[in-house]
Amino acid sequence: MGFYKSIEEIEKDIEILKLKSDIQEEKLKLRMYHAKEDLAPQNLFRELLAQTSIGISVIKLIGRFLRRKK
C-alpha cells in the first residue's frame, strides 16, 4: 500500500484486504466450532477421564460394584 497510480491498484488492494478479512473470519468460525465441540459435556467427561487417574479408579469401582451385585 502507499501511493496509487490508478483506481485499479486501489481496487486490487481493497479486494486483497477483503479476502484477508474473509480468511480471518473463517478461521475464527473454525476456532469457535472446535471450542464448542471441546466444551460439549461428553467431550469434557471423556477428557476428564483421560487426563486423570480418576478414570481408572472409577472403572475399578464400577467393576467391584458390579461383582458385589451378583
Vertex 63: Cα angle to 66 and 38 (nearest 5): 115
Query: What is the C-alpha to C-alpha distance for residues 70 and 65, in angstroms, rounded to an integer?
Result: 9
Q: Which three cell numbers stand for residue 9?
A: 491498484
At residue 1, the pLDDT reads 55
- What is the pTM (predicted TM-score) of this model? 0.57
Give the pLDDT score at 67. 78
CA distance 39 to 33: 10
User: Average pLDDT for consecutive 10-residue bins of the chain (70 residues)?
Assistant: 89 97 98 92 79 72 75
Residue 17's pLDDT is what?
A: 97
Residue 54 corresponds to which amino acid?
I
pLDDT, residue 15, reads 98
Q: Any idea where the domains of the chain sit in the sequence?
A: 7-69
Longest dimension (CA), the chain: 87
